[in-house]
């Protein structure tokens, strides 16, 4: 069975955004920005910003891999929910 076009587009956009987040984890200077950090948004202000960005990006890449490899079956469509 061929994968729907919407699933392909969503997975590629999600993969691009998680790679961009991983890239910004490496080159982002958290001290120069006055906005709330990702660590504060997850209610973990004591964790360094770059580490939190890397964790979120790697978790997102794992989710994208699972979304791309999604199979039809009993639990195939429902484990991402």
- Quote the CA–CA distance of 67 and 22 in Å, as a whole number: 19
Report pLDDT digits (tens) over 7-62: 888 889 989 998 888 888 787 766 656 566 777 777 777 778 788 888 888 888 88
CA angle 38, 81, 48 (to 5 degrees): 15
- Quote the CA–CA distance of 11 and 64 in Å, as a whole number: 6
Rounded to two decimals, what is the model's pTM?
A: 0.66
Instruction: Indicate the length of the chain as a whole number.
Output: 81
């Amino acid at each position: 069975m061929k994968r729907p076009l919407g699933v392909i587009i969503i997975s590629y956009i999600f993969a691009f955004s998680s790679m961009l987040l991983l890239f910004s984890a490496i080159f982002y200077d958290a001290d120069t920005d006055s906005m709330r950090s990702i660590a504060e948004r997850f209610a973990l202000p004591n964790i360094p910003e770059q580490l939190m960005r890397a964790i979120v990006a790697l978790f997102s890449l794992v989710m994208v891999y699972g979304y791309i490899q999604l199979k039809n079956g009993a639990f195939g469509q429902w484990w991402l929910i």
